[in-house]
Structure 1
Amino acid sequence: MEVIDRYIYAVTQRLPKQQREDIKQELQSLIEDMLEERIPDGPIAKEDVERVLLELGHPNELAAKYRGYERYLIGPMLFDAYLTILKIVMASIAIGLTAVWAIETFVSHSGILDPIANYLTSLVSAAAQGFVWVTVIFAWIERRQRLNVAGNDSRNKAWKPSDLPPIPDAKTQIKRSGPISSIFFTIVVLVICLYSTDLLGVWRLHDGTLTVVSFLNNDVFRHYWPLLWMVAAFSILREIVRIIVQQRSGKLLVFHIVVTLIITVLMCTLFADNALLNPDFIQDLIALSHLSPEGKDFDTLVSLWPKVNEWLVNATIVLALLDIITESYAWYRTKSAPAPITKQKPLV
């Protein structure tokens, strides 16, 4: 009876993860008892199962009875994913800021107290911002889901068990390692760009002193911080949706492509600004004896440096296309894969 499995899955997915297995077994026994009571002898027909499920009610209503409450900011369907993302964001912020603090402490010649104070202040501020943004994103997704469910219920007054969606195939499942890695990388890069842009450059250790020639014009780069926040927000939102949905689908692929294109446009806008790069980069290299003004290396760098913006734009576009092609191919493989043959277990 596949419809029973689909019904139990629809109910338990709306409950906290730690309760799902127990309630699944309880529901299975309850349905078996109800069927046995109504049809003590003879085979059980599909209509009999549907009558029992209709008596139990819509999966949303039954799940609400098990929960015993309805008022929440992050609902049970999203709470496990919310905690997972929150842990990833906090760990990424802590690792990124710790790495930046360690490097700056090594490079700086000031006392140890100032770097520690700055580190703790930055850590508290960034952690608070991370918590707020993750909570806001999940609250928005939660509200959207409630509105969709309410709209579907109003359009489908006469709910039927045949309306239940199928149980997702394991082959279409998205592994969490991909989205988690992407979120971690995004936050670490954002932390470095916001808190220690000077570390992005050419490093040289000479006589125990580490000097860095920055690639970027920091005054210009600071004006693009809002754009960086937007890129990070869209990137994290894309991965959050992948973790929540868990299964590849055509709608998820379209969402992924649209968000990827938005991120690509924002990044190309950033990289296309010729003023973004340090105009004194070559002169600074010469002043710090990183580069000799005589020789092929100097001539090569002088000819290539003006083209860095163009290369960054092209690389961003290529990476975005590769990502879209990879996701499209992964979706196509799951879509074209033959459906698994499952043996139905006897109900009683």
Structure 2
Amino acid sequence: MTLIDRYVGEVVRRVPAKERDDIGKELRATLEDLLPLGYAEKEERELLMKFGDPAVLASKYRSQPRYLIGPAFFDAYVTLLKIIIPVVVTVVLMVLIITTIFSSAGEASVASVVGGLFADGIAAVVDTAVNVFFWVTLVFFIIEWVDRTNRATGKTPIVLPEKGWTPDDMASEQELMPKNRVIPRSEPAFDLIWTAVWVSVYFNADKLIGIYEGSASGLDFTTPAFNQTVLLSYWPLVLLTVILQIIMDVWKWARRRWDFRMATYNLALQTLTVLVFILLFTNAEIFTEGFILELERIFGSADALNWIVGGLLFTVALFAVIDVIQGFRKTFMKEGSSLKKWRMGKGSS
């Protein structure tokens, strides 16, 4: 696939489907007419540099503005929405989880806390997405209106700042690499939300995790499982793990593809996580005496605790190994396989 093929494909996938064939043929003919016979990749690059960013060129081919936002600003508008909405929703959910767990710990059962979080989380996501969509759309609508007014009155039109484009930028398009190598925005978002959950539980473990017994009013928390003083004595290691996890998630969000450095960093992070779990749960004083006695009463022996701890450590280690293997597997997937399957004009209209 030549640079011309990919450039034309990048342009036509951004125009309405019914216009793609005509625009693709017209653009390809124009580009090829401007190239010398027996041209090399160097001549292709020089010509494409003159034509510029395919997203900008595509906006000029559209016959009508799309929705409330005209073609000059539509791509920037959509890109901004795709970035801002996931970021704001993730932050809102993390704050909601942390505040809810810290405020409800010891005051309500785990079931009620989880149920409340689920309902409040859905409401928060919808409300946040709608508000961000409204305000971003309003800002771009005003920009569009001012730009049209300026053009109508002969004033200088609004031009959004943009980074310099080169043909090399096409190689970084996520559509041109194996699907499994791409890191979806949802992955680091869910990782951050999960981190907020377990960190909040860690600092409130003696109020949330333990034995619940039924009563007339529902489930009552009777016996905490963890000795909070011993648990919190490991906070420097826990904090280090959290910081490294956040760095990993931000890296995933920005990079959006697996590479060897990221996979190696993930190996170190997962190793540290497993070691922290081993240190925590092999400490004989981590569990309260009351919890051990309750297990003996329920199961007839404290051996059940060994099975619980062993099962937990095995599960954590297993998921860590799977995650590490997946990272390296995705890293070494060949990009060429996706280029063979790529077809001009595929993508969103």
**TM-score normalised by structure 1 residue count:** 0.54
Instruction: Please give the alpha-carbon distance, in whole angstroms, between the structure 1 residues aligned to 2:328 and 2:36.
Output: 49
* Offset of residue 99 of structure 1: 4.9
Instruction: Please give the alpha-carbon distance, in whole angstroms, between the structure 1 residues aligned to 2:103 and 2:168.
Output: 58
Structure 2 residue 316 is the aligned partner of structure 1 residue 316: yes
Instruction: Please give the alpha-carbon distance, in whole angstroms, between the structure 1 residues aligned to 2:273 and 2:8.
Output: 39
Instruction: Please give the alpha-carbon distance, in whole angstroms, between the structure 2 residues aligned to 1:177 and 1:235.
Output: 15
Instruction: Please give the alpha-carbon distance, in whole angstroms, between the structure 2 residues aligned to 1:45 and 1:339.
Output: 22
Contact 2:225 2:287 in 1 (8 A): yes
2:325 aligned partner: 325
Equivalent residue pairs, number: 252
Give me the identity figure in percent. Answer: 16
User: Residues 10-49 of structure 1 correspond to what in structure 2 (within 5 A)?
Assistant: 45-46=39-40, 47-49=42-44
CA gap of 1:222–1:42, structure 2 versus 1, over 3 A, is: closer
Task: Give the letter for the 1:238 counterpart.
Answer: M
CA gap of 1:205–1:164, structure 2 versus 1, over 3 A, is: closer
Task: Give the letter for the 2:92 counterpart.
Answer: M
Higher relative contact order (CA 8 A, sep 6+): 2
Deviations 1:196-247 (A, max 9, x none): 5321111113343723311111111121223222222222322322222222
Contact 1:202 1:212 in 2 (8 A): yes
Instruction: Please give the alpha-carbon distance, in whole angstroms, between the structure 1 residues aligned to 2:170 and 2:182.
Output: 19
**TM-score normalised by structure 2 residue count:** 0.54
Task: Give the letter for the 2:324 counterpart.
Answer: I
1:230 aligned partner: 240
Structure 2 residue 211 is the aligned partner of structure 1 residue 206: no
Contact 2:178 2:335 in 1 (8 A): no
1:169 aligned partner: 177
Task: Give the letter for the 1:324 counterpart.
Answer: V
2:3 aligned partner: 3
Task: Give the letter for the 2:199 counterpart.
Answer: L
Instruction: Please give the alpha-carbon distance, in whole angstroms, between the structure 1 residues aligned to 2:332 and 2:207.
Output: 43
CA gap of 1:102–1:245, structure 2 versus 1, over 3 A, is: same
Deviations 1:3-26 (A, max 9, x none): 36878999xxxxxxxxxx79xxxx
Q: 2:191 aligns with which of 182, 191, 210?
A: 182
Q: CA RMSD in A?
A: 4.7
2:287 aligned partner: 277
- What SS does the aligned partner of 1:105 have? coil
Instruction: Please give the alpha-carbon distance, in whole angstroms, between the structure 1 residues aligned to 2:99 and 2:183.
Output: 30
- What SS does the aligned partner of 2:213 have? strand
User: Residues 53-132 of structure 1 correspond to what in structure 2 (within 5 A)?
Assistant: 84-85=86-87, 87-99=89-101, 101-102=103-104, 104-106=106-108
Contact 1:6 1:166 in 2 (8 A): no
User: Residues 244-255 of structure 1 correspond to what in structure 2 (within 5 A)?
Assistant: 244-255=254-265
